[in-house]
Amino acid sequence: MSRRNIVDWISRVAREEPSRVAMRFAPHEVSYAAMDRRIAELAALLKTTYALQRGDRIAWLGLNHPEQLAMLFACAAAGVIFVPLNWRLSVAEMNTILADCAPRALMCEPEFEKSGAQLAHDRALPLFMLRSQEGEVWLQHELVDVAPTPAPTLPKTEGDLLLLLYTSGTTGFPKGAAHTHEGTDYNSENAQHAYEFTPADNVLVNLPLFHVGGTVMLALPALRAGAMVTIHRRFDPAQTLREIEQGRVTFLLLVATMMKALYDHASWSSTDLSSLRLVMTGASKIPDTMLKPFFDRGVVASQAYGATEMGVGAYLPARDALRKIGCVGIGTMHRHMRLVREDGAEVKQGEVGEFTFGGPGVMAGYWGNREATDACIRDGIFYTGDLGVADEDGYATIVGRRKEMIISGGENIYPAELENVLGECADVVECAVVGLPDERWGEVPVAFVVGKEGCDLSADKVLALLRASVSGYKLPREIFFTPDLPRNAMGKIVRADLRRQAESRVQSRNANKGI
C-alpha cells in the first residue's frame, strides 16, 4: 500500500480540528486550517506565477519561517522538488549547489537580497523576493528581473522526488540527498515514534530548516503528529530559554553547541524548565558532560543518530536515557540497524563495526552522482561510514568515523575513546582528537583541547588523565590548546581543519628548530 502525500497530514487535522495551532511564529499563530489554505495557494502559485511543472526544482534562501514549511508542502502538492539552501554558505558555494541541481527559480528573503541577486544573475534564474506584509504571517512573492537571459529548459526528474537536502560537506563537496514523498513520510514517522510526539506537544524549531535536522527530524514529524511547531528564525540561547518558560515548550532537538550555549547562559538556573518532557541531541558524539546539566535540572536528555541521507536512524528511548547515557540506542520504527565488518558480515557484541541502515526512507540517491551513491548505498542498505559498538541489549554507541579512525603502527585508535576520557575532566570545555601523518607509525593521534577559562591545564595534566584510562600507544603525541574548535552549521567538528592546523603547527615548530 502506498504512503500518503505529506499534504494529507495537514488537511486531515484541518478537517477534524481546524482551529488547532499548527505553527507559532510570534506574534502570529497559524491554525491547521489556515496552513492548509496557504499550501493550496502556494501550490497554485508554483504552477502559474512560477510556471513550474512536475519534477522541476525550486530553491529557497532564507532564515526559518512558516512560509518555508508551507512551501515545502506546496511542492508536495504540485509535484515540485524543494531545495533549501544553507544561508551560511558563500555565494560561490551556493552557486555550485545551484549548478548541481539546476532549479527553475530562486526564492529569497530580504536579508539575503544581495546574495540572491548575484545567484540569480550567475545562474540566469528568475528571482522572487519574499516580502513581509504588515500584520500578516505569510510572505508576498515579488518577481525581480535580474536574470540576464531567460532560464533554460531543464530536464524533469524521474521518480517521485520531493526534497533535495545538501550534505554539510565536511568530507568534500556537498552532495544533494534526494528524498521521495514516500520516504519523507516514513522518515517523519520514524522520528514521530522515537520522540513520542502527540498533538499535545509544543515543539520548538530553532535548528535551521535547510538541514535534515530542522526539517525531516523535527518540524515534519511534529506536524505529522498534529502538534504545534514554534518557529524561531535562528538559534539564540536567551530567546530559547524565554520561549521554554513562557511558551511551555515540551520538546527540543539540539546539537552540542546549542546545548552548551543554553546551560552556560546566565538565565539557565532561573528558567522554569518544567514543561520540557524531552531534549534530544545528535549530529555528533555527545559526551555525558553535555547531557548531565539537563538531568540536573530534572529534564530528560537523550540521543538520536541521524543523517542527511535517511533522517533518524537510531534513537535512545527516553525511558533509558539515563541508564544508557552515551548510547545512540536502537533502530527506529522502519530502520534496520546493523554493525558490520568491511566484508559486510555483522560484528559480534562488543566488537566495532560500521553502522548500516536499511528499510524504507533511505534516500533515493545523491542528485546526479551515481558514483557517490553506489559508494554508500548497496542493495538498498546505507553504509554510513560511522563506527560503533553494541552492548548486550543491542544499544549502540558511536566510537568515531571510519575515515577518522587512526591506524598507528597497525593498531586502531578511535578518537571518541580519548575524547570521552577528556570530556569527564571539569577543566576541559571540549576536545577533539585527529590523526597526523608520521613516518615511523603511519599516523599518530594529536589532541586539540579547549580549557575552561582561568584553569591551570597543561599538556602533562592532559596526558596524565589519559594515561590512567587508555593504553600507552593511544596517547596523543601532541596536545594543542585552542580557544575553540571549528564547526559547521550543524555543530559538527570540522576535523579536516584541525588536521591542517596540526600539520601547520608542527611544520612551523620544526622550521623554527631548523629541522
The pLDDT score that the predictor gives to residue 511 is: 67
Minimum mean pLDDT among 106-115, 264-273, 337-346: which range? 337-346
Rounded to whole angstroms, how far apart are CA atoms 109 and 128? 9
- Average of pLDDT values for 450-474? 86
pLDDT at residue 496, as a whole number: 82
| Residue 283 scores a pLDDT above 80 | no
User: Which residue is associated with the grid cell 554493525?
Assistant: 339
What pLDDT, on the 0 to 100 scale, is given for residue 491? Answer: 67
Percent of the chain exceeding pLDDT 70 equals: 93
Average pLDDT over residues 376-403: 90
What pLDDT was estimated at residue 34? 98
pLDDT for 95-114, tens place per residue? 999 999 999 999 999 999 99
Give me the mean pLDDT over the 219-224 stretch: 98
Does residue 160 have a pLDDT over 70?
Answer: yes
The residue count for the chain: 515
More confident residue, 134 or 20: 20
DSSP assignment letter at 216:
I
Return the H-helix or E-strand segment holding 311: strand 311-315
Sorting pLDDT into bands at 50, 70 and 90, what band is 130? very high
Grid look-up 520514524 returns 190
Q: How confident is the model at residue 244 (pLDDT cuts 50, 70, 90)?
A: very high
Task: Categorise residue 130: left if φ over 0, alpha if ψ from -120 to 50, beta otherwise.
Answer: beta
Q: Could you give the C-alpha distances from 289 to 181, 230, 305, 326, 401, in angstroms and in order? A: 38, 28, 18, 10, 21
Residue 37 pLDDT grade (very low, low, confident, very high; cuts 50, 70, 90): very high
**447 touches 415 (CB < 8 A):** no
Q: CB count, 10 Å around CB of 493?
A: 24
Residues above pLDDT 90, as percent of the chain: 66
81-84/57-61 β-pairing: parallel
- Whether pLDDT at 222 is above 90: yes
| pLDDT(477) > 70 | yes
β-strands 442-451, 478-481: how paired? parallel
Asked if 351 and 389 count as a contact pair (C-beta separation under 8 A), the reply is: yes
Condensed to tens digits (0 to 9), the pLDDT of residues 465-476 reads: 888 888 788 899
The three three-digit cell numbers of residue 184, written as one number: 519523507
For helices 415-423 and 288-296, the axis angle rounded to 10 degrees is 40
Q: Provide the CB-side half-sphere exposure for 204 (13 A, CA).
A: 29
On average, the pLDDT of the chain sits at: 90
Residue 153 has pLDDT above 70, yes or no: no
Q: Is 11 helix (H, G, I), strand (E, B) or coil?
A: helix
Residues ≥6 apart with Cβ < 8 Å to 371: none
Is the pLDDT at 441 greater than 60, yes or no?
yes
Domains detected in the chain? 7-180 (3.40.50.12780), 406-513 (3.30.300.30)
Cα within 13 Å of Cα(488), Cβ side: 19
> How sure is the predictor about 172, in pLDDT bands with cuts at 50, 70 and 90?
low
In the predicted model, is pLDDT for residue 300 greater than 90?
yes
* Mean pLDDT of the region 82-91: 92
Return all residues near 82 (Cβ < 8 A) that are at least 6 apart: 57, 58, 60, 71, 72, 75, 162, 163, 164
Mean pLDDT confidence for 378-391: 92
Position 17 scores a pLDDT of 97
Residue 278, pLDDT > 60, answer yes
Q: Which one-letter amino acid corresponds to residue 181?
A: H
Residue 219: DSSP 8-state? I
